[in-house]
């Protein structure tokens, strides 16, 4: 399943909310759907390569994590990514019961065009 970077009103809403706390660093939202379930990927500009997954998602299912050797964030950064997660979920109208899931990537902006935003096994619910 391929996630597409979006520029619609939903993506703009998420980006606006998250960028209130990331500025001057930027972010983007990629999204894919399967039935009613949405798989969202928030990409945030950063210096290193870190990721955070929702429950039910596995790192081995995401090509981009292997592509750039993303790592789980250290404890201080976990809290920051949790803030991004909370803001994103609110702006998305996140529905866990419908199978919505979110992955957050923190990485340099220069690699964004190269990110392989694919999920091998997205099985909501």
Q: Strand pairing partners for 42? A: 29, 104
DSSP 40-109: EEEEEE-SS-EEEE-TT--GGGBHHHHHTT-BPPPHHHHHHHHHHHHHHHHHHT--GGGT-EEEEEEE-G
Residue 47's pLDDT is what? 96
pLDDT, tens only, 39-56: 999 999 999 999 999 988
pTM here is 0.95
């Amino acid at each position: 399943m391929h996630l597409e970077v979006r520029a619609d009103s939903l993506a703009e809403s998420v980006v606006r909310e998250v960028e209130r706390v990331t500025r001057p660093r930027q972010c983007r939202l990629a999204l894919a759907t399967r039935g009613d379930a949405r798989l969202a990927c928030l990409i945030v500009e950063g210096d290193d390569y870190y990721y955070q997954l929702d429950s039910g998602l596995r790192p081995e299912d995401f090509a981009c994590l292997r592509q750039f050797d993303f790592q789980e964030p250290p404890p201080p950064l976990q809290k920051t990514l949790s803030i991004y997660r909370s803001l994103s979920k609110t702006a998305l109208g996140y529905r866990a019961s419908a199978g919505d899931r979110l992955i957050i990537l923190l990485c340099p902006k220069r690699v964004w065009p190269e990110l392989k935003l694919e999920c091998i096994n997205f099985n909501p619910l």
